[in-house]
Chain A
Amino acid sequence: MAGPIYIADDQGAVRAVQLDGLTALFHAPSGMTHLVAPPAPQILDALRQGPADARTLLARISAVYEIEEGSAEAIEARLDELEAAGLVRRA
């Protein structure tokens, strides 16, 4: 069964600066700054290709990166965090 579908703000809404290992994001709609660690930036990028549920996202990400087994739960946990921060929303 498919989980909830998530949407990310487009690239223009977010300014990103790399700071050794972490990414500082300025999110214009909220005026808030978030420091995010991998895999959060990768998830946001994958989600910008179009709305998706956790399973689709996992597929998009594993097309590019080597990832461990059984990662759907971890992706969902990351999406929950990103949703709480307002960086992604449910469709």
Chain B
Amino acid sequence: MRHALNVAIGPVAFRVGSPWKAPVAALAGLYADYPAPADAVCDFTVRLEPEKPWRRWLRPSVAIHGDYMLPDAAPLSLAHGLLAAEMGMNLQMALGQKRFLLLHAATVERGGRAVILTGESGAGKSTLAALLGERGWRLMGDEFALLDCESGLLHPFPRAISLKNGSIAVMRKVAGEGRFGPVLEGTPKGTIRHLKPRADAVARMTEPARPALILFPRFGSERAMRPVGQSEVFVRLTQASTNYVALALRGFEALSHLVGACPAVAIDYPDTDTAISLVEELFRELPQ
């Protein structure tokens, strides 16, 4: 690999390599403030490489390869190399993470207590977490929550936030231009722009927090909340986890403990201000 980058995000270290300079350089820019992996050892390797040798020059397209791969993954255009890198790292986490119970969820923390925001893609959890991260909360991650099976604590995974379409403008109002990556137009998910988390979120990326509240946010309806029963939470979280089955008994114990220990609420919201007030209200009502 001509170009390579090692980067640590929370407790996980990645090695990303490519024969092209551009995707690695873009990634290095976005993660300039992140530390290099401890011991110089990486958990996962991602390769952003041409699908066929001639595709390096001729209509270049980036295949996402690495330690773990999926069939049916289509390549991306070279202009979207940064998105390919993001997907490649996510893919290693989804298929290869075996230390923590991995939940597809955003997490924010205040006073050592963490709120888990989970739900179907498009529910707005990423934007909501990013906004909370600008309003007095520590952003622990916008994509994956890492539950430590032994301690029951959540570990941060504060990668650059992947903003899509409308949420780019929302965040541009509250975060300076210097924290944004390049605009990626016409990707399979529309327009994408990455936002670097605030400096404190990166500085505290090895500091775990105790889960206190599980929320299932849904954008688009009138303000509403509904408590969610334990068995429903259990099943929904197994479906939000890519490694629940692989972790076997450890996963079962960690998840049943989480479900037993945290209240869970489904919240509907018509706009982000309402969502933030709902999160604040529910967090205040938690027993100390």
A binding-site residues for B, Cβ under 8 Å = 15, 17, 19-22, 24, 26, 28, 31-33, 35
Does B224 count as interface, using CB distance less than 8 angstroms? no
Q: Is the CB of B249 within 8 A of A35?
A: no
B interface residues (Cβ-Cβ under 8 A, vs A):
229-231, 234-235, 238, 244-245, 248-249, 252-253, 256, 259-260
Taking a contact as CB atoms under 8 Å apart, the answer to whether B248 and A31 are in contact is yes
Residue of A nearest to B244 (CB): A33
Contact B248 A20 (CB under 8 A): no
Q: Find out whether the CB atom of B252 lies under 8 angstroms from the CB atom of A33.
A: yes
Partner of B231, one of A15, A24, A28: A24
Distance (whole angstroms) from the CB of A22 to the closest CB of chain B: 4
When distances are taken between beta carbons in the complex, the residues of chain B under 8 Å from A24 are: 231, 234, 252, 256
Secondary structure dominating the interface of A: strand
Q: Which of B229, B235, B259 contacts A21 (CB 8 A)?
A: B229
A35 adjacent to B235 (CB under 8 Å): yes
**CA distance in complex: A72, B38 (Å):** 63
Bound CA–CA A19/B257 (angstroms): 11
Return chain A residues, CB-CB under 8 Å to B230.
19-20
Q: List 24 A-B contacts (CB under 8 A).
A: A15-B249, A17-B252, A17-B256, A17-B260, A19-B229, A19-B230, A19-B231, A19-B234, A19-B256, A19-B259, A20-B229, A21-B229, A21-B231, A24-B234, A24-B252, A24-B256, A26-B249, A31-B245, A31-B249, A32-B245, A33-B238, A33-B244, A35-B231, A35-B235
| Distance from B265 Cβ to chain A, minimum over Cβ atoms (Å) | 15
Pairs of residues from A and B, 3 with the lowest C-beta to C-beta distance, nearest first: A19-B230, A19-B231, A26-B252
Min Cβ gap A15→B in Å is 7
- A33, B235: Cα distance in complex, Å: 10
Cα distance A35–B236 in the bound complex, in angstroms: 12
Distance in angstroms between the alpha carbons of A15 and B229 in the assembled complex: 20
Complex alpha-carbon distance, A19 and B230, angstroms: 5
Contact A28 B235 (CB under 8 A): no
Q: How far is the CB of B212 from chain A (nearest CB, A)?
A: 19
Judge whether A35 and B234 touch: CB under 8 Å.
yes
Query: Across the interface, do A15 and B235 meet the contact criterion of CB distance under 8 Å?
Result: no
**Chain B CB within 10 Å, residue with most, of A22, A24, A28, A32:** A24
Inter-chain contact A28/B249, CB cutoff 8 Å: yes
Cβ of A21: which chain B residues have Cβ within 8 Å of it? 229, 231
Shortest Cβ distance from residue B238 to the other chain A in the assembled complex, whole angstroms: 7
Inter-subunit contact B259/A15 (CB<8 Å): no
Asked if A20 meets B245 with Cβ closer than 8 Å, knowing A15-B252, A33-B238, A33-B252, the reply is no
Query: A82: shortest Cβ distance to chain B, in Å?
Result: 18
A63, chain B: closest CB distance, angstroms: 28
A24 to B252: give the CA distance in the assembly, Å: 9
Residues of chain A with a CB closer than 8 A to B234's CB: 19, 24, 35
